[in-house]
Amino acid sequence: MAEDDGAGAAGAVREALDEVGPRLRRLRTERGVTLSALSEATGISKSTLSRLESGQRRPSLELLLPISQAHQVPLDELVGAPEVGDPRIRMKPLTLGGRTVVPLTRQPGSIQAYKMIIPAERLTPDPRTHEGYEWMYVLAGRLRLVLADHDLVLGAGEAAEFDTHLPHWFGSTGEGPVEILSLFGRQGERMHVRAQPKKRGDG
Protein backbone atom coordinates (compact mmCIF):
# COMPACT_ATOMS: atom_id res chain seq x y z
CA MET A 1 0.00 0.00 0.00
CA ALA A 2 2.83 2.40 0.86
CA GLU A 3 4.41 1.82 -2.54
CA ASP A 4 1.09 2.48 -4.24
CA ASP A 5 0.71 5.70 -2.27
CA GLY A 6 4.22 6.77 -3.28
CA ALA A 7 3.58 6.04 -6.93
CA GLY A 8 0.33 7.97 -6.76
CA ALA A 9 2.04 10.98 -5.20
CA ALA A 10 4.80 10.91 -7.82
CA GLY A 11 2.20 10.73 -10.55
CA ALA A 12 0.36 13.72 -9.09
CA VAL A 13 3.58 15.72 -9.02
CA ARG A 14 4.36 14.84 -12.65
CA GLU A 15 0.83 15.78 -13.68
CA ALA A 16 1.12 19.11 -11.86
CA LEU A 17 4.46 19.88 -13.54
CA ASP A 18 3.02 18.98 -16.96
CA GLU A 19 0.35 21.63 -16.41
CA VAL A 20 2.85 24.38 -15.55
CA GLY A 21 3.52 25.38 -19.17
CA PRO A 22 -0.14 25.83 -20.21
CA ARG A 23 -0.82 27.61 -16.90
CA LEU A 24 2.05 30.04 -17.50
CA ARG A 25 0.83 30.78 -21.04
CA ARG A 26 -2.75 31.27 -19.86
CA LEU A 27 -1.68 33.57 -17.02
CA ARG A 28 0.46 35.69 -19.33
CA THR A 29 -2.14 36.00 -22.10
CA GLU A 30 -4.95 36.78 -19.65
CA ARG A 31 -2.88 39.69 -18.38
CA GLY A 32 -2.01 40.87 -21.88
CA VAL A 33 1.73 40.47 -21.30
CA THR A 34 3.95 39.71 -24.29
CA LEU A 35 6.89 37.33 -24.16
CA SER A 36 9.17 40.32 -24.76
CA ALA A 37 7.73 42.21 -21.79
CA LEU A 38 7.96 39.16 -19.53
CA SER A 39 11.53 38.55 -20.68
CA GLU A 40 12.45 42.13 -19.79
CA ALA A 41 10.78 41.85 -16.37
CA THR A 42 12.36 38.53 -15.42
CA GLY A 43 15.71 38.54 -17.18
CA ILE A 44 14.80 35.19 -18.81
CA SER A 45 15.23 34.94 -22.58
CA LYS A 46 12.16 34.85 -24.83
CA SER A 47 13.21 31.46 -26.23
CA THR A 48 13.43 29.95 -22.73
CA LEU A 49 10.03 31.39 -21.76
CA SER A 50 8.50 30.06 -24.98
CA ARG A 51 9.94 26.56 -24.42
CA LEU A 52 8.75 26.63 -20.82
CA GLU A 53 5.20 27.49 -21.88
CA SER A 54 5.18 24.83 -24.62
CA GLY A 55 6.45 22.13 -22.25
CA GLN A 56 9.76 21.73 -24.06
CA ARG A 57 11.60 23.07 -21.00
CA ARG A 58 11.00 21.57 -17.54
CA PRO A 59 10.17 24.14 -14.87
CA SER A 60 12.83 24.88 -12.28
CA LEU A 61 12.96 27.10 -9.22
CA GLU A 62 15.38 29.49 -10.92
CA LEU A 63 12.86 30.05 -13.73
CA LEU A 64 9.64 30.09 -11.74
CA LEU A 65 10.76 32.47 -8.98
CA PRO A 66 11.20 35.55 -11.20
CA ILE A 67 8.04 34.66 -13.18
CA SER A 68 5.98 34.47 -9.98
CA GLN A 69 7.42 37.84 -8.97
CA ALA A 70 6.59 39.39 -12.34
CA HIS A 71 2.99 38.15 -12.23
CA GLN A 72 2.66 38.81 -8.47
CA VAL A 73 1.27 35.35 -7.68
CA PRO A 74 2.50 32.82 -5.08
CA LEU A 75 4.79 30.11 -6.40
CA ASP A 76 2.48 27.25 -5.36
CA GLU A 77 -0.39 28.87 -7.27
CA LEU A 78 1.84 29.14 -10.33
CA VAL A 79 2.71 25.46 -10.12
CA GLY A 80 -0.76 24.31 -9.07
CA ALA A 81 0.73 21.92 -6.51
CA PRO A 82 -1.49 19.02 -5.44
CA GLU A 83 -2.87 19.05 -1.91
CA VAL A 84 -0.83 16.97 0.50
CA GLY A 85 -1.31 15.97 4.14
CA ASP A 86 -3.81 17.70 6.39
CA PRO A 87 -5.92 20.03 4.20
CA ARG A 88 -6.00 22.57 7.05
CA ILE A 89 -2.25 23.10 6.62
CA ARG A 90 -1.77 25.75 3.97
CA MET A 91 1.89 25.08 3.24
CA LYS A 92 2.12 22.74 0.24
CA PRO A 93 5.50 21.22 -0.62
CA LEU A 94 6.51 21.38 -4.26
CA THR A 95 9.05 19.17 -6.03
CA LEU A 96 11.21 21.07 -8.51
CA GLY A 97 14.28 19.52 -10.07
CA GLY A 98 14.48 16.91 -7.30
CA ARG A 99 14.35 19.59 -4.61
CA THR A 100 11.55 19.90 -2.07
CA VAL A 101 10.36 23.51 -1.82
CA VAL A 102 7.90 24.74 0.82
CA PRO A 103 6.55 28.25 0.12
CA LEU A 104 6.34 30.14 3.43
CA THR A 105 4.75 33.28 1.97
CA ARG A 106 1.10 32.97 1.00
CA GLN A 107 0.50 36.46 -0.39
CA PRO A 108 2.21 37.95 -3.43
CA GLY A 109 4.57 40.75 -2.53
CA SER A 110 8.03 42.18 -2.90
CA ILE A 111 9.78 39.42 -0.96
CA GLN A 112 8.93 35.70 -0.98
CA ALA A 113 10.21 33.16 1.57
CA TYR A 114 10.87 29.44 0.97
CA LYS A 115 12.25 26.46 2.81
CA MET A 116 14.21 24.07 0.58
CA ILE A 117 15.51 20.56 1.11
CA ILE A 118 18.17 19.60 -1.43
CA PRO A 119 19.06 15.90 -1.74
CA ALA A 120 22.59 14.56 -1.30
CA GLU A 121 23.64 14.65 -4.93
CA ARG A 122 26.93 15.92 -6.23
CA LEU A 123 25.84 17.65 -9.41
CA THR A 124 27.76 19.61 -12.00
CA PRO A 125 27.05 23.32 -11.41
CA ASP A 126 24.94 24.97 -14.08
CA PRO A 127 25.02 28.71 -13.21
CA ARG A 128 22.04 30.82 -14.28
CA THR A 129 21.13 34.50 -14.14
CA HIS A 130 17.76 36.19 -13.67
CA GLU A 131 16.13 39.29 -12.22
CA GLY A 132 16.15 39.63 -8.45
CA TYR A 133 18.11 39.46 -5.21
CA GLU A 134 18.40 36.38 -3.01
CA TRP A 135 19.30 35.72 0.62
CA MET A 136 19.75 32.20 1.97
CA TYR A 137 20.46 30.71 5.39
CA VAL A 138 21.68 27.13 5.95
CA LEU A 139 19.60 25.29 8.56
CA ALA A 140 21.35 21.91 8.31
CA GLY A 141 23.94 20.22 6.13
CA ARG A 142 26.50 21.83 3.84
CA LEU A 143 25.52 24.01 0.89
CA ARG A 144 27.72 24.49 -2.16
CA LEU A 145 27.23 27.93 -3.70
CA VAL A 146 28.82 28.82 -7.03
CA LEU A 147 28.58 32.59 -7.53
CA ALA A 148 30.38 34.13 -10.51
CA ASP A 149 34.07 33.22 -9.96
CA HIS A 150 33.54 32.01 -6.37
CA ASP A 151 32.96 28.39 -5.32
CA LEU A 152 31.90 28.40 -1.65
CA VAL A 153 30.71 25.90 0.96
CA LEU A 154 28.35 27.16 3.68
CA GLY A 155 27.60 25.21 6.84
CA ALA A 156 24.69 25.36 9.28
CA GLY A 157 24.23 28.87 10.66
CA GLU A 158 25.90 30.61 7.71
CA ALA A 159 24.12 32.95 5.30
CA ALA A 160 24.75 34.48 1.90
CA GLU A 161 23.06 37.18 -0.15
CA PHE A 162 23.65 38.07 -3.77
CA ASP A 163 22.36 39.80 -6.87
CA THR A 164 20.85 37.10 -9.10
CA HIS A 165 22.09 38.92 -12.19
CA LEU A 166 25.39 37.23 -11.28
CA PRO A 167 25.73 33.67 -12.63
CA HIS A 168 24.84 31.43 -9.68
CA TRP A 169 24.07 27.83 -8.72
CA PHE A 170 23.60 26.10 -5.38
CA GLY A 171 23.22 22.51 -4.26
CA SER A 172 24.47 19.83 -1.92
CA THR A 173 28.18 19.13 -1.58
CA GLY A 174 27.31 15.46 -2.08
CA GLU A 175 28.07 14.59 1.55
CA GLY A 176 24.41 14.67 2.60
CA PRO A 177 21.15 16.59 2.14
CA VAL A 178 21.06 20.29 2.92
CA GLU A 179 18.17 22.31 4.30
CA ILE A 180 17.98 26.06 3.75
CA LEU A 181 15.73 29.08 4.10
CA SER A 182 15.61 31.37 1.07
CA LEU A 183 14.25 34.89 0.66
CA PHE A 184 13.82 36.17 -2.87
CA GLY A 185 12.96 39.72 -3.88
CA ARG A 186 12.93 41.94 -6.90
CA GLN A 187 16.20 43.64 -7.83
CA GLY A 188 17.44 46.13 -5.25
CA GLU A 189 15.40 44.82 -2.33
CA ARG A 190 18.17 43.55 -0.09
CA MET A 191 17.51 41.73 3.17
CA HIS A 192 20.21 43.49 5.23
CA VAL A 193 20.83 40.36 7.30
CA ARG A 194 24.33 39.00 7.59
CA ALA A 195 25.99 36.21 9.53
CA GLN A 196 29.64 36.26 10.55
CA PRO A 197 31.13 33.24 8.79
CA LYS A 198 33.60 31.00 10.52
CA LYS A 199 37.16 31.23 9.40
CA ARG A 200 38.20 28.08 7.61
CA GLY A 201 40.76 27.35 10.29
CA ASP A 202 38.26 27.52 13.18
CA GLY A 203 36.81 24.48 14.91
Which tens digits make up the pLDDT trace of 111-163? 788 889 999 887 888 888 877 888 999 999 999 999 999 999 999 999 999 98
pTM of the model: 0.56
For 61-84, the pLDDT digits (tens) are 778 888 887 877 777 777 765 444
Which of left, alpha, beta for 72 (phi over 0: left; psi -120 to 50: alpha)?
Answer: left
pLDDT of residue 202: 47
In what side-by-side order are the strands of the sheet with 133-140? 94-96, 99-103, 111-118, 178-185, 133-140, 159-163
- How far is residue 48 from each of residues 25, 58, 69, 176, measured CA to CA in Å? 13, 10, 17, 32
